[in-house]
Amino acid sequence: MSERIEVPERSGLLMTVEEVAVLWFGAVGEHGSASANCQKIRRLIPAHLPARRIGNRWYVSRAAAEAWAAGGDDALVMAHPDTRAARSGEVA
């Protein structure tokens, strides 16, 4: 499982999309570009991720962003069922 980079502690209830990208995806370049990671997050707004637009920036609920980071699925859940057992080390 990949290691997540911690976002510096800040006060307030909101995080910028860029801060959420660091929380979810780690350092820029590790799992794609910063622009691509931010765009992935913006696609979740507003249908799935609570956020608010202030000026030209989106701000995401800190509680929601941290809950998503803590409850993320392992990449194995996206594996095809026929190969999932083999990838997890189980004997089919």
pTM of the model: 0.60
Q: Is the pLDDT of residue 1 over 50?
A: no
Q: Which residues pair with 77 in a beta bridge?
A: none
φ/ψ (deg, to 5) at 52:
-140, 140
Q: In this predicted model, which residue has the larger pLDDT, 19 or 30?
A: 19
Please give the residue that has the higher pLDDT: either 37 or 90.
37
Can you tell me whether residue 25 is helix, strand or coil? helix
Which residues have a Cβ under 8 Å from the Cβ of 92 and sit 6 or more positions away?
A: 85, 86
Q: Is the pLDDT of residue 31 over 80?
A: no
* Angle between helices 62-70 and 17-25 in degrees, nearest 10: 10
